[in-house]
């Protein structure tokens, strides 16, 4: 396959790494890549839900926290998790407009 799906530990999913431009891939490779991506993509909402649960737990800790430095750390942790969610949504939307290119 002309793509490698490399596990991204920050996102918690494998992401595609194309070896050459999409347009240069034959339709069979494009179909295989899209099929694999749909499997990965289907896991993204579940991954986001898990991260949202972590954010909710951190927000509850923040509400109870009286130490300023610890509050800053919790806020930073929440911001990082929110950034991961944002990146996951970007990946989730990736591929909506990608289709197999037929060549004649």
In angstroms, the first-to-last Cα distance of the chain is 21
Element (H, E) at 92: helix 68-93
Per-residue model confidence as pLDDT tens for the chain (104 residues): 578 999 999 999 999 999 899 889 889 999 999 999 999 999 999 999 999 999 999 999 999 999 999 999 999 999 999 999 999 999 999 876 665 555 44
Query: What six digits make up the tokens of 68?
Result: 């300023």
Q: Which residues contact 55 (CB under 8 A, 6 or more apart)?
A: 78, 81, 82, 85
Q: Quote the pTM value.
A: 0.85
């Amino acid at each position: 396959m002309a793509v490698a799906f490399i596990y991204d530990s920050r996102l918690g999913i494998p992401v595609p790494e194309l070896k050459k431009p999409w347009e240069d891939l034959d339709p069979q490779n494009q179909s295989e890549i899209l099929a694999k991506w749909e499997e990965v993509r289907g896991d993204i909402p579940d991954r986001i839900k898990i991260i949202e649960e972590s954010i909710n737990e951190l927000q509850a800790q923040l509400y109870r926290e009286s130490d300023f430095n610890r509050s800053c750390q919790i806020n930073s942790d929440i911001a990082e998790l929110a950034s991961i969610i944002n990146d996951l949504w970007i990946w989730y939307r990736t591929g909506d407009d990608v289709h197999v290119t037929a060549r004649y």
